[in-house]
Amino acid sequence: MTCGDLWGNMRRRDFITALGSAAAMPMAARAQQSAMPIVGFLSGRALASDADLVAAFRRALGESGFVEGQNIAIEFRWAEGRLDQLPALAAELIERKVAVLFAGASESLSGALRVAAAIVPVVFATGSDPVAGSLVASLNRPGGSLTGFTVISAALWPKRLELLRELILPTPVIALLVNPNNVNTIPSIRELNEAARKIGQDVMVLNADAEREFEPVFASLTAKRASALVVADDPLFSGRRTRLIELAARHAIPAIYGRREYPDVGGLVSYGASTIEQYYQCGVYVGRILKGAKAGELPFLQPTKFELVLNLKTAKALRLTVPSSLLARADEVIE
């Protein structure tokens, strides 16, 4: 991604001038341009689905002594699943002279984050490996002006496949629903295929990069003899999880998801790290940076626990018998 991609129609010479002057300006000086420092909050998802994440972020800031409307302002930008809009939204926040930029669901933002970090400290939550993506030098000491929370989600697919197979009768084909525009798609497919090969399970990949494609995807499951579904972690999917769950119920498709928010609204099962915890910890880091900490000296955080959540009501509707061993391992069972 080029600087021109990030800044859209902004003239190149204007961008170079802005980048040079802003990068040379200490964070404290930038904050003094406004009586109240501004925190930029950028997400690939939507406020309607992520109000609890915003609440966790605000709570962390409050515990650090920063209260919105009193001694900080928060500027929000939501891409609502349209990931191609993220660079332009990031540019808008940089132009607002934010003191710190937080980016959630930022897998498609690597180029924009590099540019943004030359101007302001950046804290981001990601499902990819920021070291492999050349965003930071190491997880323990990122360097530069980038830090945050990472859940390397591709590594979780073998476990999700195993859990799904425990719940259903042997099935010839299991499908993986992915957004082809997400940078985690290729490693996710690779990990799932490798795990499936070891146990003799056939898998197929279905693509959707817009909500209008959800209906055809589910219609194709029956035609292609896939009788279970693994839904990839993606802002488009999580922001429209109710729609996906409705379609899974209509087509009687058992599905496993990466976030507990899915079983909360009727999804069958999820396995993954707590998204609320990610946003809370990122809020803690934003607070520390506002107090003077350097982003590059704050180690990248990683989850210490992964949650297994089961929805028994959905299992009964699908006529599935949940093994007692699986129930015993679940962190939460929704009746």
Which domains are assigned to the chain? 3-151+275-297 (3.40.50.2300), 154-272+306-334 (3.40.50.2300)
- Could you report the average pLDDT of every consecutive run of 10 residues in the chain (335 residues)? 38 39 45 74 88 96 96 94 85 94 79 87 90 88 93 83 89 92 85 89 93 94 88 89 96 94 96 93 98 96 93 96 94 94
38 class by beta-carbon count within 10 Å (0-12 exposed, 13-18 middle, 19+ buried): buried
Task: Output the pLDDT for position 127.
Answer: 82
Task: Output the pLDDT for position 257.
Answer: 96
Task: Output the pLDDT for position 35.
Answer: 75
Task: Output the pLDDT for position 25.
Answer: 46
Prediction pTM value: 0.81
Strand partners, 126: 150
Task: Output the pLDDT for position 24.
Answer: 44
Task: Output the pLDDT for position 27.
Answer: 45
